[in-house]
Chain A
């Protein structure tokens, strides 16, 4: 399968990438690792007329200690997260979740920024970033702005990013080397989660987020509230499907997903 024709341009800097996207209008798209975009283009579900390749912006590939938080460049690959010692020490949950994305080949190419910008509720990292109350730094023609993870995911494959905005950095609070669990349920190797549950101790509280339980990644607020009111892990986990809209597909019905969410959240809470 071959994608429809398009023009390919490679950006040398973030500023150049933004101006190239601006020049080519609505039909242009950034290309990072290509692990989500190229499969869609091969199926012709996406037909951009111009691809602006940001994959070589090595200065946007880093994990840095910024004192009270960590800064992660948007072009950092899943592989780099999975092998980062800094992340292991200061935000173990993100490293563990990155290690569960797809397979080795996918992790050698795919980036955290691509995962976030794609806005797929079945992706692993967006839910983890939601649990961590991450902040996304976004650059557009008019300058940079910051968006809280909570306000970023707007709908299925829809985010707060404007077409001419480049996600440049992801900021997360330090949450330590332990005190987290990721329960990813799937039935085939290298597959997306049918449902996933991230639980992490962040800033003295327990945060819980869900993969594939609605059009966006979701915080399991009812579970978190029950926990702050002193509920046990098992009792709190019964609230896992509250306020969710689980999709129906070949793998699972909404009812089955709701059940999975409760079981996976309980397991995650019991593990931390």
Chain B
């Protein structure tokens, strides 16, 4: 599979989960494991551009696909607009949920470029944050949407 644009080729057991593959075989520990039961979204990555929970997918299912993790989102030194918006709007506190939150937001903004606040809240339904109370996360995503629209 391709991970952040780099070909990755490892022989792993069939039962290896995508999140384990990314963290242990590829050494990309930006993807977090929160609940390990498909609930919290901390493990969210992009699979061919769409958000998925990597704790609930086999690495083998992603064979041949393009995976993007938080490490692959910035273009060199240039952060992705969603990353910048989280930074500027205090969209994080401890940061544990953030990688998943940012990637879920990138996927959401790809599907709904001009979201309402309600679209954002529903669109991030699969991502839990224990710190922020979500308010600044929603603000960050709306701000990123505006930047990304302006850049088009």
Contact = CB atoms under 8 A, between A and B. Distances in A.
Interface SS of B by simple majority: mixed
B50 A108 contact: yes
B78 to A, nearest CB: 26
Nearest to B121: A189
B2 to A, nearest CB: 17
B38 A35 contact: yes
Interface string B113-130: 000000000010111100
- Chain A contact-residue range equals 20 to 34
- Chain B contact-residue range equals 20 to 34
Interface in B1-56: 13-15, 17, 20, 36-39, 41, 44, 47, 50-53, 56
B38 A106 contact: yes
A158 interface: no
Nearest to A50: B14
The 9 closest A-B pairs by CB, nearest first: A103-B126, A8-B14, A103-B125, A189-B125, A108-B50, A3-B15, A105-B126, A105-B53, A190-B125
26 contacts: A2-B15, A2-B17, A8-B14, A10-B60, A34-B56, A34-B58, A34-B61, A35-B56, A42-B36, A53-B61, A79-B50, A102-B126, A103-B41, A103-B126, A104-B107, A104-B108, A105-B44, A105-B51, A105-B52, A106-B126, A108-B50, A108-B51, A109-B56, A109-B57, A190-B125, A190-B126
Interface of B: 13-15, 17, 20, 36-39, 41, 44, 47, 50-53, 56-58, 60-61, 104, 107-108, 111, 123, 125-128
Given A39-B56, A109-B57, 4 more contacts: A8-B14, A55-B61, A108-B107, A109-B52
